[in-house]
Amino acid sequence: MANTGKITRRALLQAGAAAPLAGLAAPAILAQGTTKSPTKVLDFTTTADVAKAEQEGQLVFYCHENEAGTAGIMEGFRKDFPKINTSYVRAQTGALYNKILSERQAGKFECDVLQLSDLAPAFDFQKKGGYELHVSPESDGYKKDNLSAPNGYFFWTGVDPAGIAYNSEKVAAGDAPKGWKDILDPRWKGKISCKISASGLQFVQWYALRKLYGDSFWKEFAKLQPHAFDSRVQLFDRLAKGDDTITSIGEYPAYILFKSRGAKVEFVAPPDGLVATPLVVGAVNKAPHPEASKLFVDWAMSKRGQAWYQTNPNLYYGSVRTDAPPMPTGVKLSDFKLLYPADWDEYAAQQATFLKEWNGMLGL
């Protein structure tokens, strides 16, 4: 079973007392919530005014996902609501969050829905009043720990778990890493990859393995001169070609995709668990298309939207919805042992340290 840890909510519960940045409304102003009665659309329930959403005719989506994955999410929504055109901005979570903060401080409100791969900026954005309060009628499908506190600002639209992956033509099964400490073997020097510091999953891995093995773990890893990249597609493409022998952050969804294409890659689930980060989605306050943003959140939370996230080849993210079906490989997210931060507040407070150490390791 998954080890989800205990999520502390101290920072979130104190959000109403926090001072917002310029251009961001305080949470108290957002607390009007949704008043429209729920209606059934397709096979899910929404409190958005669908007719108004279609009149708005547009949804602008800011997302951490790679190009194909972001386009894939929009494809699913557009198929169900063809009268609503979609556009998106994609970047790794750190860069994306800095972008939306800068825009809003400048009085520019161009985003409708924000998806991040890290809870730390989601906490911060809620504290700054950036999310619209929208309590979805689909919320009942989620446990309390997978929703913002209070409910209505963001939710976990999926989880991205990662283990170790290797090129099976370059590494024999008997020589492949079995656990996290095995990635520190000097034989991987110059042949191992990781992600850049803007990745939410990379932050989680740094934090979780540092907790398990101490500060020296990543100092030893730095000696391997790892190659760092933006997206999981880059990591697995290089792995499949043999440009790198192993990747220290082999995302399970990417493994499924590349394995299905015939790539000679294999996946290792370390006994201590797969590092995992939630994918966080919320409607943005002062959105240019407010009804479309609510409709998207309700769709994404529903079994219909979750099935799309979990089975689209460019996504394959495990769903935390309580009635979610298995993933394409026949397993459920709960079948994995997952490594989440036990204290999300402490984790968020470590971001500056992570950025300094990780960028220093990469010579940035």
Q: What are 45-82's pLDDT values in tens digits?
A: 999 999 999 999 999 999 999 999 999 999 999 999 99
**Residue 190 pLDDT:** 97
- Residue 35: predicted pLDDT: 58
Q: Under 8 Å CB-to-CB from 115, ≥6 apart: which residues?
A: 61, 62, 63, 64, 65, 73, 157, 279, 280, 281
Helix (H/G/I), strand (E/B), else coil: 12: helix
* Residue that is written with structure tokens 């070609």 in the block: 241
Q: What is the pLDDT of residues 85-134, one digit of tens each?
A: 999 999 999 999 999 999 999 999 999 999 999 999 999 999 999 999 99
pLDDT of residue 31: 37
Summarize pLDDT for 195-236 with one digit per residue, the tens: 999 999 999 999 999 999 999 999 999 999 999 999 999 999
Identity of the amino acid at 239: L
Asked if pLDDT for residue 299 goes beyond 80, the answer is: yes
| pLDDT value of position 2 | 37
**pLDDT for 36:** 77
What does pLDDT average to over the chain?
Answer: 91
CB 198 within 8 A of CB 234: no
Give tens-digit pLDDT for 331-359: 899 999 999 999 999 999 999 999 999 99
Per domain, the residue ranges of the chain are 10-158+278-323, 160-276+345-361
Mean pLDDT over 178-200 rounds to 97
315 in Cβ contact with 107 (< 8 Å)? no
Q: Give the pLDDT score at 27.
A: 37
**Residue 65: CB atoms within 10 Å:** 26
Nearest to 109 by CA among 22, 177, 35: 22
Question: Could you check whether 10-158+278-323 and 160-276+345-361 share the same CATH topology?
Answer: yes
What is the third-level CATH fold of 160-276+345-361? D-Maltodextrin-Binding Protein; domain 2 (3.40.190)
How far is residue 86's CA from residue 239's CA, in Å, rounded to a whole number? 33
At residue 32, the pLDDT reads 41
Mean pLDDT value of segment 273-289: 97
Nearby residues of 280 by Cβ (< 8 Å), 6 or more positions away: 115, 116, 117, 118, 119, 122, 154, 155, 156, 157
The pLDDT tens digits for 22-41 are: 334 333 333 344 457 899 99
Architecture of domain 10-158+278-323: 3-Layer(aba) Sandwich (3.40)
Q: What is the pTM of this model?
A: 0.86
Angle, vertex CA 293, rays to CA 4 and CA 122, nearest 5: 35
Question: What confidence category does residue 154 fall into, taking pLDDT thresholds of 50, 70 and 90?
Answer: very high
C-alpha triplet 53, 51, 77: angle, nearest 5° = 50
Q: Are 235 and 250 in contact (CB under 8 A)?
A: yes
